[in-house]
Amino acid sequence: MNKSNRNQIFTLKGFYLLTFFGVGSLTPLLSVYLSEVAHLSGSQIGTIMSIGPIVMIFFQPLWGMVSDKTNRPTLVLGITTFLAGVFALGYLPVGNYIGFFLVAFLVAVFQSAIIPVSDSISLKYTSKVGYDYGNIRLYGSLGFGLAVFLMGRFSEGAIGPTIIFYSFFACLVIAAFISIGFPKEKATVKLDLKAGIKELFKIKRFLLFLAVTFLVFGPNLANNTYFGLFVEDSGGTYAGIGLAFLIAVLSEVPFMRLAGNWINRFGLLTVALLAGAASLIRWLFYFTEPSLWLVYGSSVMQGLAIGLFIPAGLQYIRDITPAHITATAVTIYSAIGNGLGNWFSTFVGGFVMENFSIYAVYLFFALLSFIGVLLCFVLMKEEKNQTIAYVKASS
């Protein structure tokens, strides 16, 4: 790899580190801020925290179309990253539910462009130069984990919890300027969503796995909203919340590295099933109101759940869909897991917390994961039946 390529890779790593540091500063601790400082109810917190996922469903395709139409994804990425950071400062002067709701909506609109546009640029560039995209994406996990850990400690300092907004702003503004140096790649492939969706909805395995993703991956993402409140209720401070998130997020890295070998050895659905089972066990354990130190120790199960499910899920979607609609399939898969599943788990979780407790939220997550695990077995049986049918047809 020549010096120019190394510089581009370094720029991409820096962007992921900063943007995820910004997101890690805000998202996990915002729910605690809304509870402790703004004194909002559980349902209000759940509604505000669920805005991002639901906005993502509608605005991610829009930003993709804007990038395709202008053929300037780097410019789109820079502008949206900058504006997301600026609008986050709007949290500081507001003090009521409506104000927080509007600010969260504005931040989500522009933040929803960051990951899909940066991923499309990074994936195409790394494919061209023969570099592993995962080695870039790991910097995102590192940034997220470090952010929650550091912001948890700084929130107890002189500045107080408002530092999460300043950190988000600073990181995204700097990242916006860094994106100027991105490789000049085209945006994502233009998708015929209407035709693609019609064809995909005829694939039974695809629909079943979307349901698994909704039920297993959705609660794992919603956990970013409620985990801070859970640690706090277990006796943890802001610093303790940061430590728990650091352990959880960094545990994803080794499992992401192991995922490829495990997939080759045991199969995609078996690995996805293992991830779902790990989620189920973790949520049930949290429902039992464990001690704080046991919460810290069990945080490593996030690596087993998310670190395995992300690569296995994406590869399974690619394997079961025809090549000409794979891009459409990945778009829908992302919208269901990152968007709809995350929104549903976060939104309903808020009402569960308000009417019962934070521990009941994890019982709700466990119920969803249990259904997801059952559907994994159904999907494995469907795969077996299709294999038998194929063998009979070939003989």
Q: How far is CA 74 from the centre of its chain?
A: 22
Q: What is the pLDDT of residue 207?
A: 93
Q: What is the pLDDT of residue 395?
A: 61
Taking the C-alpha atoms of residue 23 and residue 164, their distance in angstroms, rounded to an integer, is 9
* Ranges in the chain, pLDDT < 50: 187-188
Q: What is the DSSP letter of 39?
A: -
CATH of 1-181, one of 3.60.21.10, 2.40.70.10, 1.20.1250.20, 1.10.3720.10: 1.20.1250.20
Q: Considering just the CA atoms, what is the radius of gyration of the chain in Å?
A: 21
What is the share, in percent, of the chain residues with pLDDT greater than 70? 92
Q: What is the DSSP letter of 340?
A: I
**Dihedral angle sign, alpha carbons of residues 208, 212, 214, 215:** positive
Task: Give this prediction's pTM.
Answer: 0.76
Q: What is the pLDDT of residue 391?
A: 64
Phi-psi region of 309 (alpha: psi -120 to 50; beta: other; left: phi over 0): alpha
CATH 1.20.1250.20 range(s) for the chain read 1-181, 189-395
pLDDT one-digit tens code per residue, 170-216: 999 999 999 988 877 554 455 555 676 788 888 899 999 999 999 99
Taking the C-alpha atoms of residue 299 and residue 279, their distance in angstroms, rounded to an integer, is 11
**Dihedral angle sign, alpha carbons of residues 66, 70, 73, 77:** negative
Q: What is the pLDDT of residue 55?
A: 87
Report the CATH number of the 189-395 domain: 1.20.1250.20
Residue type, 323: A
For residue 16, give every residue at least 6 positions away whose Cβ sits within 8 Å of its Cβ, in sequence order, or none: 118, 122, 136, 137, 139, 140, 143
Which one, of 222, 216, 147, 252, lies nearest residue 372 by Cα?
Answer: 216
Q: At CA 161, angle to CA 159 and CA 164, rounded to 5?
A: 100
Proportion of the chain in helix, strand, coil states, percent, rounded to 5: 85, 0, 15
Q: What is the pLDDT of residue 352?
A: 93
Q: What is the DSSP letter of 147?
A: H
Coil, helix or strand for 158?
Answer: coil
Phi-psi region of 130 (alpha: psi -120 to 50; beta: other; left: phi over 0): left
> Token pair of 301, please?
């199960």
